[in-house]
Chains A and B, each alone.
Chain A
């Protein structure tokens, strides 16, 4: 455990001395803030329209904070598609390029501890990104009374969603010494996993049902609606496990290839 924490600590420090952490954080805060503002204005306009159309009668009740948070989280899911590859792209590729992998693989640290440390650092940094979004969400509590349950499941969903993509990105970063290449490949992979349900839309029948289930964004929708389904938990966790397993195998493969 000490080994894992040591690696997590070094990696996090490394994020924050290089510009990567600040660029990712800055762009994420800016984009998510702009979108939150837009969603806020749009939702309020929609509420006013509904009220105007009700002609003095009782307007249909609208869960304004729920509507805002749902749309906001949906947007975050998409912004994160672009941000997550940047968190993982250098994790192993840079170690190989700089030769520091030789230090890590000859230190009394198991490959499993190494993978856990790298993944832990990526997840910790991702948690910081998610933490930032608590600020706009908390403003909802100032002016309304949002339901806490769906917010908690939404954050759980976003966390698992991110963690599974980070695990896949970690694997991709073991495949090349070039972190840009790793970043682009990860982005391509994530994008493919995202639009697989669009492909499903074109297909029909069972194929459509299967492909829709495979999209990484589908379970996220359930989490945002406050639905906590075991199948969704299993989906993200098995995706993360797959990514970590492939990472572990890939490191073993380097040793043999040299």
Chain B
């Protein structure tokens, strides 16, 4: 599932310390090590949001198979 891959990227990549344990290139005075990790906050937010969308679609299908009915319309503003 694509959502799973997105989440896995989000968990694995920020933990690959050797890929970012260096000072250059700097950005606004921040060494690479520091700004790169802060940048991943935004990247992961985007990835998790996408995963959320995908999972909701998938789950509606899964629930139908188990005979639980669809929840999406009842959830109203919860999207």
A, B: real partners: no
Identify the B interface with A (CB < 8 A).
none
